[in-house]
Chain A
Amino acid sequence: MKVYDAVANAFVKEGTSTVFGLLGDGQLTWWSSIAKHPGIQIVDVREEGAALAMADGWARGTGKIGVCSVTHGPGLARLSLSLVAAKRGRTPIVVHTSKTAFNNERNNQFLDQEKFVSAANGGYIEVLKPDFAEEAVRQAFYRARLESRPIVLCIPQDIQGKECDGAGDEYQPSATMFTGQQRIRPDLDRLHAAVRIIAESKKPVVLLGRGAMAPEPKQAADRLAKRIGALIATTLIAKGVLGESEYHAGISGLFSTRTAMKLFEEADCVIAIGAALNEHTLAGGYLYPNARFVHIDIAPHVMMGNDRGADCYIQGDAALTAQELDEMLAQKGVAKEGFRTAAVRNALRGADRDPAEFEIEPGVVDTREVVKIIDEKLPSNVGLVTGSAHNFAFPAFHMKKPRALQLTVNRFTGVGQVLANAIGYGVAIKGPLVAIEGDGSALQNIQELDTLRRLGLKLLYVIINDESYGAEYHKMKASGRDANLTVVPTPDLGAVARAFGCRGRLARTLEEVAAGIDEFLAGDGPLVLDVRVSRNVISIPSRRLYFGQDV
């Protein structure tokens, strides 16, 4: 069996169903081989970094290992930002690539690939003898799942065409060795210690992170929170989890409302479930000055964002631990009102209202109003993908409808990551979604509208267009520098979308925004909405960060 056939077969046996890639001369053999397998979907992407970002979004949407294929050298070099982003987002991905001829560093496309991948935080496995090829695929998938990061698997051109003893249908996929994270039962002593802290608490907060987004931990956390009268908060990534609760304070961190921050100040106990409690969630360690921390996570230990350990750290499965805590507290007869009073409920209602008024010039709209319309018009089954930079604070603050499907693409805060992640996520969830991104970000990967059009996904791509690099605009302004240096005019991106074969609209009024959403809902396939917004509207986190405002 040829190495490329053995490797393609092993990928399929590992469960590969969708490959995001861009064909180059390094993968011709493997690409041809895997394309022959029935049920394999190859998504032709227009830029390698976008292909990896799509595999990232796909993996997040399916919970499986994403697969991306790019050619060696220049193809691989384009992955840098997406590799780091996937590592930071802890996404398991296998990147298939090749390598230029051995012992020829003068080859135009030569790259010290291992060094490059390692600098971009990826793992690297290279096949140097044909009989290692299948084992290499197994290792790549095993490590991707175990290490939760991208593993680059290199099948050099000098090896691809060689013969090997392929296992064919007998190939043992990595899942037979490692099926994934086991449910860790929490240690009883730690549970007792946590119960003591929680039982003594009068004002507890249950803080949910990415590890508590699945239905089971979510329900367990809800029961626990109800028993102890806890306020609910989430990390940015877990935004909206248990959002239907009247005692939901929103996101914990710089994205908290002022009301929530005041309540957090009163909290005497934080029970963090599946949340790393990083410096963002704890606002540098200043958010819960009077609280003791019970920190539940599957890692042996996680240092909190203030460089301290929790008062009680419990290594354990999120659902099991929350359940056990709830049962032990029930046995002790603990049931309290805590934060769950009419006063708190009333305070939280409308806490996200932003009374600040900004002058809105003609032909542009207030971003806060735009995201509110999006939230109102799109039903809960429409997933939400957001990114980083200035614009994403608006959906984080003002979109409140609970949405089971949502993806925050912000771990490396590189611009240009949302569209590609959203496409991968859309392929995974097979349902409607909205992706919100700024104009600078959109224009970094606008070519992927072509991929989007070919896939025909029901995706509303909202470009919050202030014709500038928004975060930089406000930073320049705050520091007394020339903010106009950040202004770069854009063409009508609705028209650009139409040229790509998508539906597209330019919206300069709130009515046009609403009409665009209606058109999206009424028809099939993607729609790009270029919404012209005022640079005068500054998000609440930016007002705090850049202008030191107490808002």
Chain B
Amino acid sequence: MIIDIREEFEVPASPEVVWEIISNPYEVVSCLPGAAIAGQKEDGTYEGTIAVKFGPTSITFKTLVTLELNPAAHEGRFTSQAKDSRGGTRTRATATFGVKRGPVEPGSSVSMQGSVEVSGPLANLVESGATFVIKRMVAVFAQRLAEKCGPREQEAPRPKIGLWRRVFRLVCAKVKGWAWH
């Protein structure tokens, strides 16, 4: 089955601030409940896990994510291949996303378009419910993203994330990833 994604939401922060967060997988993950990055492979793909709740059933997927970014245009493309350890479900997602200046200053409009292909036992279980699951996840993401951006709006522009900080986050994410299993 194929689930179409077509989501757009507003964030009360400038596109620059929002872009800095949503172009950073570690920041994105911190806005997604149940998601964690276990590490980055040499080819640049990220290894992670994400727990998704379909009805009363929670399913943890292991995922490989590739990210292509176009910082100048504030646009990106994301592909993910995921499988769950228990039921043999596979998902393959492709999406493009972008940040534009929103109608109210300071504000941004974040859009995401793409699709998720689900195969395996879950495909029969989720039907159109998956669309609602994704919508709810996006809503939570938007809220957390807004929270993250909100207070910083008054602060000086955030410095680029340093190497040591990256390493530290990677270790934290790994620990988080291990804790998942």
Interface residue ranges, A against B (CB under 8 Å):
254, 258, 261-262, 279, 283-287, 289, 305-307, 475, 478-479, 543-551
Complex: A398 Cα to B124 Cα, angstroms = 24
Contact B56 A544 (CB under 8 A): yes
Contact B86 A286 (CB under 8 A): yes
Chain B positions within 8 Å of A307 at CB level: 88, 121
Contact A549 B128 (CB under 8 A): no
A171 vs chain B, min Cβ distance (A): 47
Q: Counting chain B CB atoms within 10 Å of each CB, which of A283, A284, A287, A543 scores highest?
A: A284
From A286, A543, A547, contact of B57 by CB (8 A): A286
From B121, B130, B131, B133, contact of A285 by CB (8 A): B121
B68 vs chain A, min Cβ distance (A): 29
Chain B positions within 8 Å of A550 at CB level: 53, 55-56
In the complex, whether B157 has a CB less than 8 A from a CB of chain A is no
From B89, B120, B121, B136, contact of A548 by CB (8 A): B136
Interface extent on B, as a size class? 20 to 34
Which residues of chain B (47-62) have a CB below 8 Å from chain A? Answer: 53-57, 59
Chain A positions within 8 Å of B126 at CB level: 545, 548
Chain B positions within 8 Å of A286 at CB level: 57, 59, 86-87, 121-122, 125
The 9 closest A-B pairs by CB, nearest first: A548-B129, A284-B121, A544-B55, A548-B132, A285-B87, A478-B128, A548-B133, A545-B127, A261-B56
Q: 22 A-B pairs, CB-CB below 8 angstroms?
A: A254-B55, A258-B56, A286-B57, A286-B59, A286-B125, A287-B57, A305-B121, A306-B86, A475-B128, A478-B128, A478-B129, A478-B132, A543-B55, A545-B125, A547-B132, A548-B55, A548-B126, A548-B128, A548-B136, A549-B129, A550-B55, A550-B56
Chain A positions within 8 Å of B88 at CB level: 285, 306-307
B152 vs chain A, min Cβ distance (A): 33
For the A-B complex with A261-B56, A547-B132 known, give 10 more contacts whose Cβ atoms are closer than 8 Å.
A284-B121, A284-B125, A286-B121, A289-B86, A478-B128, A479-B131, A545-B55, A548-B128, A548-B133, A550-B56
Chain A positions within 8 Å of B132 at CB level: 478, 547-549
Which A residue's beta carbon lies closest to that of B89? A284
B129 vs chain A, min Cβ distance (A): 3
Complex: A477 Cα to B147 Cα, angstroms = 33
Chain A positions within 8 Å of B87 at CB level: 284-286, 306
Contact B53 A479 (CB under 8 A): no
Which B residue's beta carbon lies closest to that of A306? B87
Contact A551 B55 (CB under 8 A): yes
Chain A positions within 8 Å of B125 at CB level: 254, 283-284, 286, 545
Complex: A306 Cα to B84 Cα, angstroms = 12
Which A residue's beta carbon lies closest to that of B122? A284
Contact B86 A548 (CB under 8 A): no
Contact B128 A546 (CB under 8 A): yes
Chain A positions within 8 Å of B55 at CB level: 254, 543-545, 548-551
**Per-position binary interface string of chain B over residues 127-152, scored 1 when its CB falls under 8 Å from any chain A CB and 0 otherwise:** 11111110010000000000000000
Chain B positions within 8 Å of A254 at CB level: 55, 125
**Also in contact, A548 and B54, with CB within 8 A (given A306-B87, A478-B128):** yes
Contact A545 B129 (CB under 8 A): yes
Contact A546 B57 (CB under 8 A): no
Q: Counting chain B CB atoms within 10 Å of each CB, which of A279, A287, A543, A546 scores highest?
A: A546
Contact B86 A279 (CB under 8 A): no
Q: Counting chain A CB atoms within 10 Å of each CB, which of B88, B124, B128, B136 scores highest?
A: B128
Contact A547 B56 (CB under 8 A): no
Contact A279 B57 (CB under 8 A): no
Chain A positions within 8 Å of B136 at CB level: 548
Complex: A199 Cα to B2 Cα, angstroms = 44
Which A residue's beta carbon lies closest to that of B52? A548
Complex: A475 Cα to B126 Cα, angstroms = 12
Q: Counting chain A CB atoms within 10 Å of each CB, which of B54, B56, B125, B128 scores highest?
A: B56
Chain B positions within 8 Å of A478 at CB level: 127-129, 131-132
Which A residue's beta carbon lies closest to that of B133? A548
Complex: A283 Cα to B121 Cα, angstroms = 8
Chain B positions within 8 Å of A261 at CB level: 56-57
Chain B positions within 8 Å of A262 at CB level: 56
Chain A positions within 8 Å of B86 at CB level: 285-286, 289, 306
Which B residue's beta carbon lies closest to that of A288? B86
Complex: A544 Cα to B130 Cα, angstroms = 10
Which residues of chain B (79-136) have a CB below 8 Å from chain A? Answer: 86-89, 120-122, 124-133, 136
A71 vs chain B, min Cβ distance (A): 38
Complex: A549 Cα to B89 Cα, angstroms = 20
Which A residue's beta carbon lies closest to that of B87? A285
Complex: A285 Cα to B83 Cα, angstroms = 14
Complex: A426 Cα to B152 Cα, angstroms = 73
Contact B56 A546 (CB under 8 A): no
Complex: A286 Cα to B88 Cα, angstroms = 10
B25 vs chain A, min Cβ distance (A): 25
A64 vs chain B, min Cβ distance (A): 34
Chain B positions within 8 Å of A548 at CB level: 54-55, 126, 128-133, 136
B60 vs chain A, min Cβ distance (A): 9
